[in-house]
């Protein structure tokens, strides 16, 4: 039973990593195409792109997926290479707090700041 649970977690983490990487790739390709089509880009074009509600939503979704991707990667590294449980827990808490801080900052930047 325990082995089955671990293998499911591993598969889920693997799948999440692939989906978040795909989202990041699609977003990056979209931005590159936008920059190529609108070359030379003005501040006004850039501003209007990122003030559009759909772009804000997808940017926040991609930021969340990158942070989730980072969490899975860091958790895997800590689990594999940090043997001390206290040190591993401390590192996981620090990384978790940093990732939450980055997400809050992204929300503030995209939705609150003008």
Total tally of structural domains belonging to the chain: 1
Count of all residues that appear for the chain in the document = 114
Angle, nearest 10°, between helix axes 53-81 and 2-37? 140
> Does pTM top 0.85 for this prediction?
no
Query: In this predicted structure, what is the pLDDT of residue 57?
Result: 94
Query: In this predicted structure, what is the pLDDT of residue 102?
Result: 96
Query: In this predicted structure, what is the pLDDT of residue 110?
Result: 86
Which structural domain range is residue 66 located in?
2-112
Instruction: Give the CATH number for residue 53.
Output: 1.20.1300.10
Q: From 51, 91, 53, 98, select the one nearest 75 (Cα to Cα).
A: 91
Helix spans in 38-84 (H) = 43-51, 53-81
Distance (Å, whole) CA 26 – CA 21: 9
Distance (Å, whole) CA 74 – CA 69: 9
């Amino acid at each position: 039973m325990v082995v089955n649970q671990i293998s499911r977690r591993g598969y889920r983490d693997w799948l999440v990593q692939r989906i978040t990487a795909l989202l990041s790739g699609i977003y990056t390709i979209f931005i590159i195409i936008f920059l190529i089509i609108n070359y030379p880009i003005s501040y006004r074009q850039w501003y209007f792109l990122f003030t559009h509600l759909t772009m804000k939503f997808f940017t926040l979704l991609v930021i969340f997926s990158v942070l989730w991707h980072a969490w899975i990667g860091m958790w895997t590294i800590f689990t594999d290479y940090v043997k001390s449980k206290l040190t591993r827990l401390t590192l996981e808490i620090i990384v978790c707090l940093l990732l939450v801080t980055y997400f809050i900052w992204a929300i503030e930047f995209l939705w609150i700041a003008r």
